Structures are given as C-alpha cells and as structure tokens.
Amino acid sequence: MTRHVDMSQQLRHVLLELCEHRRPQAEDLVFFGERKKDKPISLRALLGKYFRPTLATAGLRGFVFHDLRHTFGSLLLDAGAALSYIAEQMGHASVTVTATVYAHALRKNRGFVNRLDPPATSQLSATRPQPEVLENLEISTSPFFLATPEGVEPPTLRSEV
C-alpha cells in the first residue's frame, strides 16, 4: 500500500536542487547507488557513507535511522499539528496510537493554557474580573472562591445522593 507524506517547501527546494545535479542514467532517482548508477542507493551505503558520519560530526550517539521518523512526528507536534494530521503522516492506524507514542511530548504542552490569557493590551473583556488574591490570605471572604498560593479557584460542586 502506498502512503503519501507531505513535504515542506524547503525540503522540496533542496530535493529539486539535488535532482538538477543527478547523473543522466539515474533520472528517476535523487539518491543513486555507488556501483550501480541506475539503481537507488542501498541502505547499507546510505548509513555507512552518509548517516553515521553525519551523526559523528554532529556529536550524536545512540541515534538510529528510525529515530528520524520519530523526530518528524515530534516536530510536527511541537509545531502545533493536530494529532489526526500526525497520525495520517505517520501511517498510524488511529489517533490513539499517535497519542500513546507521543504522550511524553503532549505532557510538555502544559504551558499552552497560558495562551488563553488575554493579551497585555487594554482590551475590554466580556467577563467579570476575578477577585484579587492577597499574598497571605488562605481563604477568600467570598464563599464561592478558594484562594490558594497558586491562584483563585472555584470550589468543586458536590451533589448529595
């Protein structure tokens, strides 16, 4: 089964430049073999001649070729891509698989809640301002709010059964 993976404009540009310099006998290939110029480069040659030396130059240890796939998924997540898009790009059977594989990266996104804060400009708000929390006050004078060192939080409503 064939799966299509999107590529960035920058990657497309780099690959097109490489294609301009390819050998005539390898017109359908971007990366061609060392001995057989009309055949694709072997994985062994790719790893031994290009991938491992590049890792050594960069000072990276314990990095395997498959890690590029995981890096691609992680970078998509960091860029804000939806899990459904990442699942499609990675060829995962479901979004649940993607969420499981990238759970560690999802946990680091806790700071996204700060994006809900209004900008620092003086804009009018449709909501009432929240009561201010005093530094040493443990419980607010209002019965509807609890003041903690972390901020103001509405109480959890409980129903009796």
pLDDT, position 96:
93
Mean pLDDT within 71-93? 91
Q: Give kind and range of the element (H or E) at residue 16.
A: helix 9-20
Q: What distance in Å separates the CA atoms of residue 61 and residue 52, rounded to the nearest whole number?
A: 10
Beta strands 151-153 and 146-148 are antiparallel
What pLDDT digit, counting tens, does each position of 87-105 carry? Answer: 999 999 999 999 998 887 7
pLDDT, position 121:
60
pLDDT band at 130 (very low <50, low <70, confident <90, very high): low
Name every residue whose Cβ is closer than 8 Å to that of residue 105 and which is 6 or more positions away in sequence.
74, 77, 78
Q: Are 133 and 124 in contact (CB under 8 A)?
A: no
**Which pair of structure tokens corresponds to residue 33?**
């073999």
Residue 155 pLDDT > 50, yes or no?
Answer: no
What pLDDT digit, counting tens, does each position of 19-74 carry? Answer: 887 666 666 777 777 777 778 888 999 999 989 999 999 999 999 999 999 999 99
pLDDT, position 124:
55
